[in-house]
C-alpha cells in the first residue's frame, strides 16, 4: 500500500474548521479519506490546568495528549488501524463511543495545535490554515458554546478574552506562515475548498488496469 498523504488543517477557535471539514468530507468516501481530530485527545479533567480564577483552561497545548495523538497519526501512516475513545467535552449525558480510524490514501489531521507540536507537524505533507477575523470568530464561538455546551454569554466572553485569544496569538498565529495553503473564511470558503478538493483528488486516483 502506498504511504498515505497527510494533511494538517488548523486555525483559531471559531475560524470555521469543523464546517469546512464537514464539507470536505462529503467529497470523499470513507475508503479515500480518514479524519482524526485533536478534539478526541484532550486529557482527563483531573489533568487540566485552572487559571488564576479557578476556571479550567482547555486552550493550552498541555490540555492535549499530543504524544498519543502523534503516535496514532504515525500508526495510520504505517497502515495500522487505530481505536480511541470519543471525547465528550465532560458532558455527563453523553456515553462516549469507541472510535475506529482506518488507514486511507488521505489522512486529515485537524486541531488548533497541529502545527505547534513539532512531532505532529513533521508528519504532515500539506499544511492548511483556516483564517478568519477576530470579531467573526467571537460571534461563532458565542453561538457554538451557548447552543452546544450550555455556557452563558459571560462565560464565553471570559474564555475568549482570557484563554482563546492569548492561545491564538502565542501558539497558533505564529505558525500561519508555515502553512502551504491559507483559506480565508470570513464569509465563505468555496474557492479554497475547491482548490484543496481538486488537489486531494489527485492523491486517490487509482492506477489504470493494464
Q: What is the DSSP string of 26-51?
A: TTS-TTTEEEEEGGGGBPPGGGPPB-
Q: Does residue 120 carry a pLDDT above 60? A: yes
Phi/psi of residue 3, nearest 5 degrees: -60, 135
Report the C-alpha gap between 193 and 200 in whole angstroms: 10
> Tens of pLDDT along 48-99?
999 999 999 999 999 999 999 999 999 999 999 999 999 988 777 888 899 9
This prediction has a pTM of 0.90
Among 135, 120, 117, which residue's Cα sits nearest to residue 172? 117
Q: What is the pLDDT of residue 207?
A: 47
pLDDT tops 60 at residue 1: no
- What pLDDT score does 119 carry? 95
Nearest to 115 by CA among 48, 70, 51: 70
Identify the three-state secondary structure at position 186: coil
Percent of the chain with pLDDT strictly greater than 90: 80
Residue 119 DSSP SS3: helix
Those residues with Cβ within 8 angstroms of residue 76's Cβ, 6 or more apart along the chain or in another chain = 4, 34, 36, 82, 101, 103, 107
Amino acid at each position: 500500500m502506498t504511504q498515505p498523504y497527510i494533511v494538517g488543517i488548523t486555525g483559531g477557535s471559531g475560524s470555521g474548521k469543523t464546517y469546512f471539514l464537514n464539507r470536505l468530507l462529503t467529497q470523499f468516501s470513507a475508503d479515500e479519506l480518514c479524519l482524526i481530530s485533536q478534539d478526541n485527545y484532550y486529557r482527563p479533567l483531573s489533568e487540566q490546568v485552572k487559571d488564576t480564577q479557578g476556571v479550567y483552561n482547555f486552550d493550552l497545548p498541555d490540555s492535549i495528549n499530543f504524544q498519543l495523538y502523534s503516535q496514532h497519526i504515525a500508526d495510520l501512516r504505517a497502515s495500522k488501524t487505530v481505536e480511541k475513545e470519543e471525547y465528550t467535552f465532560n458532558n455527563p449525558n453523553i456515553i462516549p463511543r469507541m472510535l475506529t480510524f482506518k488507514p486511507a490514501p488521505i489522512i486529515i489531521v485537524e486541531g488548533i495545535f497541529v502545527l505547534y507540536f513539532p512531532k505532529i507537524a513533521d508528519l504532515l505533507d500539506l499544511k492548511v490554515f483556516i483564517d478568519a477575523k477576530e470579531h467573526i470568530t467571537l460571534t461563532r464561538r458565542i453561538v457554538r458554546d451557548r447552543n452546544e455546551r450550555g455556557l452563558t454569554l459571560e462565560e464565553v466572553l471570559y474564555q475568549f478574552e482570557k484563554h482563546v485569544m492569548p492561545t491564538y496569538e502565542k501558539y497558533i498565529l505564529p505558525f500561519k506562515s508555515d502553512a502551504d495553503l491559507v483559506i480565508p473564511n470570513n464569509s465563505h470558503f468555496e474557492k479554497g475548498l475547491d482548490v484543496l478538493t481538486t488537489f486531494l483528488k489527485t492523491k486517490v486516483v487509482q492506477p489504470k488496469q493494464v
